[in-house]
Structure 1
Amino acid sequence: MNKFEKYMSFVEEINAKDRVVLCFDQDGDGIPATVLMLKAFQRLKIDNIHWVPFQRGNRIHVAEEILAWNPSHVIFLDVAAEMYHELMGKLVNRKVMVIDHHETNDPFEGVTVLKPQSIGFEESNQYCTAKLVYDYMSNFVDLEDVSWITAVGIISDMGQKTWGEFLREILKHHNFEIKEDWYDTVPGKIAQIINSATSVNPIRTEEAIAMLVNSTPKEILKSPLAELNNDINAEIAKQMAEPVASFHDGLLNIQVIKDPSYSIGGVVSNKRSVAELNKAFITITVFGAKLKVSARSQEYKVPMNKLLKQSIKDFKNANAGGHDPASGAALPTKYLDKFKKNLVEVFGELLQLNTAS
């Protein structure tokens, strides 16, 4: 039996007269997932497709943008939309599907939700949305010629540990050189370029999508976004050279980045965590009145999502979410000192709890 069988009807019932809106997370997984879905629908000759970037802090505005297209179908990609009941309530008269790999509880009724767990894959943080879309939509069309886009999503979302053999097959198929560091491969370099597009203000999502849809890998590596990537790498190197504050015998490390040229906190925390697998790295980036937080830990002794959620629970206008090894948060800058104190306290509590168990 096809593991996707119970989800096939959603796409099967879409016809050329329907209007579909894709709503996606603006990152290195959500963007490739969206492009794969766009290409699949093109091959199915379903052309009335529109897209709306997701904004966690402005979800009702997102709903308004979706409804402005008067869609018959809405597909959320790399967004656990089923947990946002107010957002879902605005879409009750539409057919809605969520394709995502974030664990949630209390899903909104009447929504088709496809998660890795739905097809028997329990470690959801390793099954990125781009791979899930590729596997699902391959039931309808052949996507092997654009499988390199799937590799971009996997590498961007740190899934190479699980999908190493799959990635090697993609590299061989497209005649890409296999490198020891996945980020040095062609899809890895493109992943960095896509992440660069989402690290600037304003975010250059539209340009990134157009590039993946219309350009060859060789063209992407020579694109204006590739030049931007060079500037961002210089900023990353600068922040990597800065010291971090360490706690709990070095297991928790916190770095505050003030008003950087680019939003590179996620890359910095990720690079540090890959270099020291047993430690947790938190970057707190100050953007005026707002803080953007990235938490990473490859061998998570403490779940990063729990750490951030518990550390912001008493703050107004704050939100957090993600996976055990990788999570993010946003909150007002006025809470910076209290937030750092909470991180240290909560980390200690969770560490003790996990050690005892």
Structure 2
Amino acid sequence: MPEINKQQAEEFLSNISKEDNVAIIHHDDGDGVCSGIILNEHCIKQGATTKTFTYHLSKTKLSELDLSAFNKIIITDVSVKAIQEDIKSIKNTQIFVTDHHPKYDLPNDVLYFPTTAEGYIPSSRTAYELTGIKKWLALIGVIADSGNLYKENDNFIKETLEELNLTLEEFQKKYSHIFSDTIVYFADTPEKIFPILAEINSLHDIEKLQKYAKVIEEEIQKHVKGYKANKEKIGNINLYQFEPKFQVKGIVAAILSRGNQEETFIFFSQKDSDPNLLGISARDQSPNANLPKLLEAATKDLENSNCGGHPRASGGQIQTKDLEKFKNNLKDYIQKQP
């Protein structure tokens, strides 16, 4: 079954029972964590035994996870491109995949529920709409994944905010930023974050996370100031290399890009997993942005490079020694544009 519809996805989830051992594999970002929490809670309510696994795009392999005890596996917010081959290593298990990244073929026995036909629908919203659990948490996930920049989420956001009697700005300041900052705080120890966040049962409970968020906010503001003093510019593309103590590269890029929707922001920092590699975070809030195309051109012919993502938010990696080649590729790309 190459793809399933919403009704079939709901049927799979409603049929989960106390007879099932379910593994929930979720991306390590805000949308992935929120959707993972929602789907995990649903399975527990259905009586199933569950275990969660955090998926890091450049580190995790499905074939290396111990999934032998599970008869059902749920994968949420993980790029299908990343697991397209690796998923074939899982045998004799019912697998359900839901995701909003570009579609790729999966084995016919995988229940695949992509949402790309509806536009940019973060997986946390999908998890809520399939289960009816924690709508406020789904909104946090949507905002964490920049879903508020896409009109297809307008009605969901407006409806949820009206129910909460909050503006988007109030919700972000009081709740979603704190939640997302906490995920960043525990980025190097993801096994610790899920139990903490799974115990947050209301917006009021988010206040408990303030001690983690405060540390991250200080780190973010430090590097916003650093960018303004040390940025480099190629055409309308702003580049900045820095070494944060926490994984705030994408957040800093997002903050600065929201304040300037006419330009592109590409930030680099050394990867913890390999000092010879630079991680890339790119942001562009223009309606016509196509960051995957831009990064593909910039990383062309660079050894050990990769890139991908969404039109307005993408990432990748290059070898540290290839940074100047990356910049030269950018210059060539800009010159070829009409």
Q: Same fold (TM over 0.5)?
A: yes
Conserved 8 A contact 1:149-1:212: no
CA contact (8 A) 1:19 1:73 kept: yes
How far apart are the structure 1 equivalents of 2:28 and 2:335?
32
**Whole-angstrom CA distance in 2 between matches of 1:88 and 1:247:** 40
1:323 corresponds to 2:310:
yes
RMSD: 2.6
SS in 1 for 2:73: strand
Question: What CA distance in whole angstroms lies between the structure 1 residues aligned with 2:180 and 2:87?
Answer: 31
Q: Which amino acid aligns with 1:192?
A: D
Which AA in structure 2 matches 1:72? Answer: N
**1:189-338 correspondence to structure 2 within 5 Å:** 189-198=178-187, 202=188, 204-215=189-200, 216-223=202-209, 224-248=211-235, 250=236, 252-257=237-242, 259-287=243-271, 288-338=275-325
CA distance in 2, matches of 1:94, 1:322: 29
CA–CA distance in structure 2, aligned partners of residues 240 and 182 of structure 1: 27
Taking the aligned partners of 2:101 and 2:223, their CA distance within structure 1 comes to 27
Shift of 1:84: 3.1
Alpha-carbon contact 1:235-1:261 (below 8 Å) kept: no
- Structure 2 stretches lacking a partner, 5+ long: none
Separation (CA, whole Å) in 2 of partners of 1:66 and 1:279: 44
Secondary structure, in 3 states, of the residue corresponding to 2:52? strand
Q: CA deviation at 1:152?
A: 0.9
Q: Secondary structure at the match of 2:112?
A: strand
Distance 1:159 1:286 in 2: 28
| Equivalent in 140, 144, 148 of residue 152 of structure 1 | 140
Number of residue pairs matched by the alignment: 328
The 2-side partners of 1:237 and 1:184 are apart by 18
* Structure 2 residue 135 is the aligned partner of structure 1 residue 134: no
8 Å Cα contact 2:216-2:246 kept in structure 1: no
Paired letter, 1:278: E
State how far apart, in whole Å, the 1-side matches of 2:16 and 2:335 are.
50
- List per-residue Cα deviations over 1:222-274 (Å, max 9, x = no partner): 334233333333334333433322223x2x221122x2222221012111211
CA separation of 1:311/1:237 partners in 2, compared to 1, >3 Å: closer, same or farther? closer
CA contact (8 A) 2:98 2:115 kept: no
Deviates more, 1:26-35 or 1:216-225: 216-225
Aligned mates of 2:335, 2:105 — CA distance in 1: 29
Task: Report SS of the residue matched to 2:103.
Answer: coil
* Aligned residue runs from structure 1 range 332-351, under 5 A: 332-349=319-336, 351=337
- Segments of structure 1 that go 5 or more residues without pairing to the other structure are 353-357
Deviations 1:63-107 (A, max 9, x none): 22142x432122111112365333112114322221111013344
Q: Relative to 1, partners in 2 of residues 1:236 and 1:217: Cα closer, same or farther, differing over 3 Å? A: farther
SS at match of 1:289: strand
Q: Would the alpha carbon gap of residues 181 and 279 (structure 1) be closer, same or farther in structure 2, given more than 3 Å must change? A: farther
Whether contact under 8 Å (2:84, 2:105) holds in the other structure is: no
